[in-house]
């Protein structure tokens, strides 16, 4: 379903089960996967890929060459940038053209969430099932399952697949538990991993 007021390039690939709402723009060579929702006024840049089951909420801006995994949530008004050194002009005060810069992207891995109004400053990767708090400004990579907030964003803890903040097990300082599901996670030098999914 594509709203009549949406602007979708004929060069974009939007799967039949996806929904693109009013005033959204999907640019050339973008790929919008199965059951993806692109909200009102959202922008999906040239060549951006969005994995199945993801939600790009109202007025989010996803600039190329972003890569969005499966089941990703991009909150209302969030921005994924693509220029580390933004300038409108060259040093000679001539307006920059595409040949004057190399866009860099934000990668958001499967299951991760970017909160409302957050800004992800490329180039960074937001790890699987990570949670970026509303209004955060992310300037460096976010580990899998990490909870980050603030400006610049700092890690506050870990979250599970349900989005709940994990708590540390009393019998093992390397084991973390979800308060809802009691799913277990183990912390090592590289981060945190669901125990059931280590194999």
Reported as a single tens digit per residue, the pLDDT across 131-151 is: 999 999 999 999 999 999 999
Mark whether 131 and 172 lie in a shared domain.
no
Give the whole-angstrom CA distance, residue 48 versus residue 65.
Answer: 5
Mark whether 191 and 109 lie in a shared domain.
no
Of residues 95 and 173, more confidently modeled: 95
Mean pLDDT (the chain) is 94
Mark whether 113 and 198 lie in a shared domain.
no
Mark whether 109 and 178 lie in a shared domain.
no
Cα 32 to its chain centre, rounded Å, is: 14
Mean pLDDT lowest for which of 101-115, 145-159, 170-184? 170-184
Could you tell me what percent of the chain has a pLDDT over 90? 81
Of residues 101 and 126, more confidently modeled: 126
Identify the domain containing residue 198 by its residue range: 164-199
Mark whether 193 and 127 lie in a shared domain.
no
Residue 181 has pLDDT above 60, yes or no: yes
**Is 92 inside any structural domain?**
no
Helix, strand, coil content of the chain in percent (nearest 5)? 5, 35, 60
Mark whether 153 and 192 lie in a shared domain.
no
Q: Residue 32 maps to which CATH number?
A: 2.160.10.10
**Is 180 inside any structural domain?**
yes
Mark whether 140 and 60 lie in a shared domain.
yes
Give the whole-angstrom CA distance, residue 106 versus residue 128.
Answer: 13
Mark whether 25 and 119 lie in a shared domain.
yes
**Is 168 inside any structural domain?**
yes
Residue 111: C-alpha distances to residues 97, 101, 196, 199 (Å): 35, 31, 17, 19
Per-residue pLDDT of 20-38, as tens digits, reads 999 999 999 999 999 999 9
Residue 18 has pLDDT above 70, yes or no: yes
Cβ 124 vs Cβ 138: under 8 Å:
yes
**Is 93 inside any structural domain?**
no
**Is 96 inside any structural domain?**
no
pTM: 0.92
Mark whether 146 and 125 lie in a shared domain.
yes
Mark whether 111 and 185 lie in a shared domain.
no
- The predicted model gives 168-192 an average pLDDT of 87
Question: What's the pLDDT band for 170 if we cut at 50, 70, 90?
Answer: confident
**Is 46 inside any structural domain?**
yes
Mark whether 144 and 53 lie in a shared domain.
yes
The pLDDT value recorded for residue 198 is 46
**Is 20 inside any structural domain?**
yes
Per-residue pLDDT of 44-69, as tens digits, reads 999 999 999 999 999 999 999 999 99
- Output the CA torsion 47→137→154→76 (10° steps): -70
Number of domains the chain is built from: 2
Mark whether 111 and 38 lie in a shared domain.
yes
**Is 2 inside any structural domain?**
no
């Amino acid at each position: 379903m594509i709203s009549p007021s949406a602007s979708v390039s004929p060069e974009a690939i939007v799967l039949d089960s996806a929904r693109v709402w009013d005033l959204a723009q999907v640019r050339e060579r973008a790929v919008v996967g199965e059951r993806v929702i692109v909200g009102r006024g959202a922008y999906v840049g040239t060549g951006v890929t969005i994995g199945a089951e993801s939600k790009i909420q109202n007025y989010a801006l996803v600039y190329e060459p972003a890569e969005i995994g499966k089941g990703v949530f991009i909150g209302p008004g969030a921005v994924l940038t693509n220029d580390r050194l933004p300038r409108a002009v060259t040093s000679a005060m001539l307006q920059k053209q595409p040949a004057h810069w190399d866009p860099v992207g934000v990668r958001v891995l499967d299951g991760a969430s970017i909160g409302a109004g957050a800004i992800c400053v490329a180039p960074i990767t937001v790890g699987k099932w990570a949670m970026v708090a509303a209004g955060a400004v992310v300037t460096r990579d976010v580990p899998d399952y990490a909870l980050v907030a603030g400006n610049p964003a700092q890690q506050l803890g870990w979250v599970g697949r349900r989005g709940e903040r994990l708590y540390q097990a009393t019998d093992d300082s390397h084991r973390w538990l979800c308060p809802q599901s009691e799913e277990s996670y183990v912390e090592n030098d590289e981060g945190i991993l669901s125990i059931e999914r280590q194999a």
